[in-house]
Amino acid sequence: MIGVVTTQAPDPRMLIRQGDARPLAADRNLACTLALAAGALNTVGFYKIGIYSSHMTGAVSTLADRLALGDWAGAMVCLGLVTSFVAGAAASTLLANEGQRRGLAGIHALSIMAEAVLLAGLAAADAWVPQLWGGLGFVLGMSALMGLQNAVVTRISNARIRTTHVTGMVTDIGIELGNLLDIALRRRRRAEAAVNRQQIRCPCVGSNRCAHQPIEGFYNRVLAESGFVG
């Protein structure tokens, strides 16, 4: 018996549809794919010269620290990382805006393709000149590409996807956990309120029943004596 192996084709909407028009599966596939790429690039940058290419919070904090210590060379490295990241995001935005003005539905796919081509060129340049600026040129180039990638996924998903912004992702997880806890607490409060209402209602009904039993018995006797009730 011959088994048939089937593979699921990539969702063509992953880099085309934007905002609320995007299905959840497209967001999930895009997030997993680009987060995997971002993690790999960050690792390469760290092993190259000990710097994460997309860690902008750390770069800004280190920039302030280097300035306070008078380490101007270290401060310029951090400033270069931030500047490269911003430049990549700005370039992605310019490309996306121009593509939308021209009616190109796949402009974000073209942006990711451009990132892949530039990354291949950067790897080739590093292989050809491995010690360009002590490896700093390679990391600055990767920082620009991470800025480009982040701008693409932020725009296409209405900021629902973040491929390198772990702080934002952890914040989103905390928000959703808080919402789930709030729903659970509200359900528990409603259940307790229902029990309390039942506990209050039962004595009232019982008291009302006892109070009306003599009156009911009186009317029954009157009707029986009058011959209305056999």
Residue 145's region, left for phi above 0, alpha for psi from -120 to 50, else beta, is alpha
CA dist., res. 200 & res. 102, Å (int): 69
pLDDT in tens, 3-60: 443 444 455 556 666 666 677 777 788 878 888 888 888 888 888 778 888 888 888 8
Q: Indicate the pTM of the whole model.
A: 0.67
Closest among 64, 104, 111, 60 to 88, alpha carbons compared: 111
- Residue 161 near residue 38 (C-beta atoms within 8 A): no
Position 199 scores a pLDDT of 59
CA dist., res. 42 & res. 142, Å (int): 8
pLDDT range class, residue 64, cuts 50, 70, 90: very high
When pLDDT is averaged across residues 190-196 and rounded to a whole number, the result is 64
Position 87 scores a pLDDT of 93
Q: At what angle do helices 72-101 and 107-128 cross, to 10 degrees?
A: 140
Is the pLDDT higher at 21 or at 187? 187
Is the pLDDT higher at 194 or at 46? 46
Position 1 scores a pLDDT of 38
When pLDDT is averaged across residues 193-204 and rounded to a whole number, the result is 60
Residue 103's region, left for phi above 0, alpha for psi from -120 to 50, else beta, is left
Residue 70's region, left for phi above 0, alpha for psi from -120 to 50, else beta, is left
pLDDT range class, residue 67, cuts 50, 70, 90: very high
Find the farthest-apart pair of alpha carbons in the chain and give their distance in angstroms, rounded. Answer: 118
pLDDT in tens, 114-133: 888 998 988 888 888 766 66
Position 214 scores a pLDDT of 54
Per DSSP, the residues of 83-132 read: HHHHHHHHHHHHHHHHHHHTT-TTHHHHHHHHHHHHHHHHHHHHHHSTTG
CA dist., res. 84 & res. 92, Å (int): 12
pLDDT in tens, 138-186: 888 888 998 898 888 888 877 777 777 666 667 777 878 888 888 888 8
Position 4 scores a pLDDT of 41
Position 177 scores a pLDDT of 84
pLDDT at position 223 over 50: no
Position 43 scores a pLDDT of 84
CA dist., res. 167 & res. 169, Å (int): 5
